[in-house]
Amino acid sequence: MDLVIDKLDDNLKLREFAARHQIPAVSDIGSSKLKYLVTERNEQFLFKDLRRKKSHFFSLDLKPMNVDKIFKSNFSKCFLSLDKNLQVFDSTAGLLNDSVHIANMGFQVTAVEKISWLYEVMKNELDLAKLGDSVLENINLQHGDSLELAEKTKPDVIYFDPVFDLKKKATAKQPMELLRSIASDKNSQDCIEQLLDCCSERLIYKRHKKQKSTLQKFITFSVTGKSVAFDVYQK
């Protein structure tokens, strides 16, 4: 099981959350078949990796960005020539890190998350973060299938980041490990072909730099860093 709640946890908000998303309540938290335990404290959902011996609860809260570094990043280089009036569609919302980055560059962002419980958790985190950062008002988080929504709305710019394992020696931060454990294994090439048909201006695809580019003949330019590359398809 990817996500469970403790059967002895009588938090009403947590139990309602679990019921909405069909998250089971278990009594044997130490079972080797379980991955993550979720609870709720002070208006935040917290997670614990049950596979770690010395694991602590962690949140998926949105961290403030260093504005000075935003426009110097390789990710930002994929957006620098774009009109700020263009609508950006983040087809893989996840933990909203990239959506926050894009919003800080001055774009309006529609971010889509398919997993219902992750959508609710990140919607809650986004609402909390908006209280202290007005830039985040530029993010509209939606629940649904990104391919279906992209086909309906035909956004200007689409960003696609299929979660992949960088296979670094160092352990990834716990929120990213959680995201990788639930990530879809959809074929990236199929998704890129469909998303490319949906956007009117540009598709930006994030991949591991050692991974082969997809639809190479259609790539306008690529930006490559130490581990990650971005392929830009201009319509």
What is the tens place of the pLDDT at every residue in 38-50? 999 999 999 999 9
214 close to 189: Cβ distance less than 8 angstroms:
yes
Contacts 24+ apart (CB under 8 A), 190-195: 191/91, 191/147, 191/160, 191/162, 192/160, 192/233, 194/147, 194/150, 194/151, 195/91, 195/147, 195/150, 195/158, 195/160
Q: How does 21-33 read in b/e, with b if 16+ C-beta sit within 10 Å?
A: bebeebeeeeeee
Q: Return the residue matching tokens 């946890």.
A: 9
pLDDT in tens, the chain (235 residues): 689 999 999 999 999 999 999 999 999 887 768 899 999 999 999 999 998 888 899 999 998 888 788 888 999 999 989 999 999 999 999 999 999 999 999 999 999 999 999 999 999 999 999 998 999 999 999 999 999 999 999 999 999 998 765 555 445 689 988 988 887 656 677 889 999 999 999 999 999 988 887 788 899 999 999 999 999 999 9
Q: In this structure, what DSSP letter does residue 62 have?
A: P
CA-to-CA distance for 3 and 57, rounded, in angstroms? Answer: 13
CA-to-CA distance for 192 and 143, rounded, in angstroms? Answer: 20
What is the tens place of the pLDDT at every residue in 126-175? 999 999 899 999 999 999 999 999 999 999 999 999 876 555 544 568 99
Q: Is the pTM of this model over 0.85?
A: yes
44 close to 124: Cβ distance less than 8 angstroms:
yes
